[in-house]
Amino acid sequence: MTETNLPLQNKVAIVTGASRGIGAAIAEALALRGAKVALTFTSDSSVEATEQLVKKIKGFGTSADAIKIQADLSHVGSPKFIVDTTIKAFGPTIHILINNAGRVTKPKP
């Protein structure tokens, strides 16, 4: 893809739940279009998959870039941590937010 075909060049995106499935696919699609993407995930078991996605995005050879951020969105301070980390990495403007994180809980008896 040429730089002129990158409609999201210089745009910054945060994708929650980006370690696998729909979140990973969305993050990759944004990056293929030139976005800088903050990939958020919660569990320690998702570290390796998220690191691999960061490597893949950095290898696109375009303006795309990626960072990983481990944060549990059930904690009140996590959104601020995610935003602060993204701004530190990519600058003061966040253009896109994909709220994909989910949590499965067992119903109470």
pLDDT band for position 98 (50/70/90)? very high
In this prediction the pTM is 0.90
Say which CATH class 3-98 falls into: alpha beta
Long-range Cβ contact pairs of 18-22 (< 8 A, separation 24 or more): 18/50, 18/53, 18/100, 19/43, 19/46, 19/49, 19/50, 19/53, 20/46, 20/49, 22/100
| Whole-number pLDDT of residue 104 | 67
Say if residue 3's pLDDT is above 70. no
- Hey, where are the domains in the chain? 3-98
46-72: average pLDDT? 96
18-40: average pLDDT? 97
7-29: average pLDDT? 97
37-56: average pLDDT? 97
pLDDT band for position 108 (50/70/90)? confident
More confident residue, 61 or 21: 21
